[in-house]
A and B are shown apart, each in its own frame.
Chain A
Amino acid sequence: MRFLKGVFVAKIAALAVTALAAHGQSLNSTAQSRSLLKTDAVTYLFPEQVSVPAGKPSQVALHFRIAQGLHINSHTPSDDFLIPTTLSIPDGSGVRLASATYPAGTVIVLPIDPTTKLSVYTGEFIIQARIVATAGNHLVQGKLHYQACDNNQCMPPKTITVAIDVIGK
């Protein structure tokens, strides 16, 4: 009987701890949903996982999609005040970005200002990343920094995570 009481109290305590944890988590999810109110102009498509020879530079094609009606500056925008699209991999992930080859931008002209030409990406685009991985399994959180506009307005610069499971063999 005494044992059953102990089990009962322990279960209630565990539930209370779960409730507190859930409370904290609900605050986080509310904050996340708030930030998602802003449009995600660029989505990372694939690959989710790659296998590469450990210690050797390997080419990986990273595919992205830009939301319809929007464009982002290419890696080499037409003016130095514009923010270029850049890929990076943080240090310490076991994977190094040796180099990245970006596609050439498409030249567009805004209807309201035919004198200004912009070098942009629209639709889907691919960045050829040359990576070097150490042996093992690495969950890489790459970063793509970009700034998106449509013909009349611009959104603030944004950085999205490019999550790839890199297996160095």
Chain B
Amino acid sequence: MRRNTLVLGATLLILAIFAWAGWANWEYRRQEAERLLSGAGQGELVPAPGGGTPQYVSPLNGKPAPAFELEDLTGNKVSLESYRGKAVLINFWATWCGPCRIETPWIVELRNKYAAQGFEVLGVDTEGDDLEKSDKAGWAKATAAAGKFVAKEKIPYPVLLDGDSISRDYGGLDDLPTSFFVDRKGVVVAAQVGLTSESDIESKIQKALNQ
């Protein structure tokens, strides 16, 4: 009798483990699906009216730009929040990205043109995309590469490091350059993946300034 009770107890315990494993698996998959389908998901390219440059439609459009605080090249912490009241272009780039190098002089020119109207650019370097936090030599090399590029292009705006740490919030950043145009209230009004044109960037800056 006692043995039967033990066998029954063991069987019930094992069945409970089955139930727990199934529930945990289901719950994990549900959370992953929700995360992937959340507002930080992938955007899409849609044809522009009149056959112009295809426009990148980000799920972040119309939503507050995700907050962040990153270090700049000199180690100072810079937050997006501190630019509230200004229109901001958040430009994700890397030195190994040829198209990023092509558009940077355009962005520098436009930043200088519109700065007096309350416009600023935050360049976010994703150089260390494949680096571990503990890889000090790797980070030093990445920082040096970014610094060299900033000096060469005479970039007047803050360039922030470790962009990969905020990439998920901004939709994954599978491709560079990627830019988000944020209005004075901190809302994303436009986004762009890939190289377009100086005039296209300018029109989005104007949109961010005038919202």
Residues of chain A touching chain B, judged by Cβ–Cβ distance below 8 Å, are 2, 5, 8-9, 12-13, 15-16, 19-20, 22-23, 26-27, 30, 34, 37-39, 81-83, 110, 112-113, 116, 118, 147, 149, 151-157, 159
Report yes or no: A19 in contact with B17, Cβ–Cβ below 8 A: yes
Q: How far is the CB of A24 from chain B (nearest CB, A)?
A: 9
Report yes or no: B10 in contact with A9, Cβ–Cβ below 8 A: yes
Report yes or no: A26 in contact with B25, Cβ–Cβ below 8 A: yes
Complex contacts, A82 vs chain B, CB 8 Å: 96, 98
Report yes or no: B129 in contact with A156, Cβ–Cβ below 8 A: yes
B4-30 Cβ-contact flags toward A at 8 Å (1 or 0): 000100110011011001101100110
Complex contacts, A30 vs chain B, CB 8 Å: 28-29, 32
Known A9-B7, A112-B195; judge A81-B100 contact (CB<8 A): no
Known A153-B194, A157-B96; judge A12-B175 contact (CB<8 A): no
Of A9, A23, A110, A156, which is within 8 A of B102 by CB?
A110
Complex contacts, B176 vs chain A, CB 8 Å: 153-156
Known A19-B22, A23-B21, A157-B130; judge A38-B96 contact (CB<8 A): no
Q: How far is the CB of B59 from chain A (nearest CB, A)?
A: 15
Q: How far is the CB of B203 from chain A (nearest CB, A)?
A: 17
Residues of chain B touching chain A, judged by Cβ–Cβ distance below 8 Å, are 3, 7, 10-11, 14-15, 17-18, 21-22, 24-25, 28-29, 32, 36, 94-102, 126, 129-130, 145, 149, 172, 174-177, 193-197
Report yes or no: B17 in contact with A20, Cβ–Cβ below 8 A: yes
Q: How many A-B residue pairs have CB under 8 A?
A: 100
Q: How far is the CB of B201 from chain A (nearest CB, A)?
A: 13
Complex contacts, B15 vs chain A, CB 8 Å: 12
Report yes or no: A152 in contact with B24, Cβ–Cβ below 8 A: no
Q: How far is the CB of B193 from chain A (nearest CB, A)?
A: 6
Task: Give the CA-CA distance A149 to B177 in the complex, in Å.
Answer: 11
Complex contacts, B7 vs chain A, CB 8 Å: 5, 9
Report yes or no: B102 in contact with A116, Cβ–Cβ below 8 A: yes
Q: How far is the CB of B95 from chain A (nearest CB, A)?
A: 5
Task: Give the CA-CA distance A64 to B19 in the complex, in Å.
Answer: 46
Q: How far is the CB of B30 from chain A (nearest CB, A)?
A: 11
Complex contacts, B21 vs chain A, CB 8 Å: 16, 19-20, 22-23
Task: Give the CA-CA distance A81 to B196 in the complex, in Å.
Answer: 22
Report yes or no: B98 in contact with A16, Cβ–Cβ below 8 A: no
A-B contact pairs, 14 of them (CB 8 A): A8-B11, A16-B17, A19-B18, A23-B24, A26-B25, A27-B28, A81-B95, A83-B96, A147-B96, A152-B194, A154-B100, A155-B176, A156-B130, A157-B96
Q: How far is the CB of B20 from chain A (nearest CB, A)?
A: 9
Report yes or no: A81 in contact with B17, Cβ–Cβ below 8 A: no
Report yes or no: A153 in contact with B28, Cβ–Cβ below 8 A: no
Task: Give the CA-CA distance A61 to B37 in the complex, in Å.
Answer: 43
Report yes or no: A153 in contact with B195, Cβ–Cβ below 8 A: yes
Report yes or no: B32 in contact with A153, Cβ–Cβ below 8 A: no
Q: How far is the CB of A70 from chain B (nearest CB, A)?
A: 11
Complex contacts, A112 vs chain B, CB 8 Å: 99, 102, 195, 197
Nearest CB to that of B173 among chain A residues? A156
Complex contacts, B172 vs chain A, CB 8 Å: 37
Nearest CB to that of B54 among chain A residues? A152
Complex contacts, B95 vs chain A, CB 8 Å: 81
Task: Give the CA-CA distance A157 to B176 in the complex, in Å.
Answer: 11
Known: A16-B18, A82-B98. 7 other contacts (CB 8 A): A26-B25, A112-B102, A116-B98, A153-B193, A155-B174, A156-B94, A157-B129
